[in-house]
Every structure is written in C-alpha cells, then in structure tokens.
Copies of this chain bind each other. A is one copy, B any other.
Amino acid sequence: MPEPSTRKDAVRNRKAVLAAADALFDRSGNPEEVTMADVAAAAGVGKGTLFRAFGDRNGLLLALYEHRIEPIRQTVQAGPPPLGPDTPARERVPALLDALLRFKLDNRRLALALEETGSTSPYLAAHYEDWHSLLRSALEQIPGLTDNSEFTAHVLLAAIRADLVEYLAGHKGVPREEMHAQLARFTAGVLR
C-alpha cells in the first residue's frame, strides 16, 4: 500500500492511525460514537493528517476492513479446501458463508461501522460485488440452482449482514455456535 516514494513520517503516521482506529472501534459499543477527531487524537496526529491519508471516514473504515479480511481473501483465492477454488461448490458455498459469519462475529464493530455509514449503501461498496459474484458463480455450479443464483447469492449474503449478526449475537444473546448452526441449516435447506 505505501508507495515506493512516500516520506517515512507519512508511513509512520498511517500505521499509527490504523492501529489507533483498530483499537477504538473494537472498544466502543456503538461505532458511530467514535469520531474522526478521537481517532486522530488517539493516534497522536492532527485531523489534517488523518484525512489526507484516508480521504474520508469511509476510506479509513475500508482500509481497516481490507487489512483484516486479507487472510480470508487469500485463502479463498488460492488456499486449500474447503475455502479454496478447488472445492466442490456444494461444500464451498456453506464454507464461504461460515467464514464470513465468523469474520463478522470477530469484527462486529468494524463491520457494523462499515455497513452503516449513512449515505453509502453497503451494496455500492466494491467488496460486496466481489463476494456476490464469487458466491453466485459457486451457486451456478449446483444443479437446480442455476436459474436463481443471482438473487439467491444476495439473500445468502443478507443473512449475515453486520446489523443482523449484531442484533442476534449482541442483543438477543444467541451464542456463536448456535448462529453457525442455524446458518448451516438454512444454507443446507437452500442447496437442497
């Protein structure tokens, strides 16, 4: 990410901001109450620096997200089954959803903040398209689902949206394994 010719104070500050934001978002219950000024202060940096490095609030959230999701992305793209590309679709679909659910449980605040961001619908984010098309092409390889795969992929992703996960896990107190089990059961039903 850091360009070859970037001044080292810029690099240092970028890291400081990422670390501070990372900590702040996980700590607070409601991500909306973490302000940009807070992040800048916690990182020991001015607001100007913060905004120059990440553009806007959404840019910061995105950078955090990409950093955290990287391992999963890698595994999906070139790793072993059940996530990697060599997995039969029937196993890969539930595995993908399971991994994403685990990610959202592990990164609830961040995922929430990312999907909330008022004006920007989560469906317009670049990474949504990625996950959707991956899931969709997996679904297309399963006989009997090829016709409605587009919509089915949307619904399966909607089943693990950050605010739903937060509601069930955080508000309703549904335990982790229970959520995984319910999602697996539902997915199995859809895949018939």
Chain A contact residues, CB within 8 Å of chain B: 30, 32, 116, 118-119, 121-124, 147-148, 150-152, 154-155, 158-159, 161, 163-164, 166-168, 171, 182-183, 185-186, 189-190, 192
Contacts and interface: CB of A to CB of B under 8 A. Distances in A.
Nearest to A178: B151
Given A123-B167, A158-B164, A151 B186 contact: yes
A2 B189 CA distance: 48
Nearest to A32: B119
B118 A167 contact: no
B32 A151 contact: no
Given A158-B158, A158-B159, A190-B189, A121 B166 contact: yes
A172 B123 CA distance: 11
Nearest to A148: B185
Nearest to A147: B185
Given A123-B171, A158-B159, A161-B158, A182 B116 contact: no
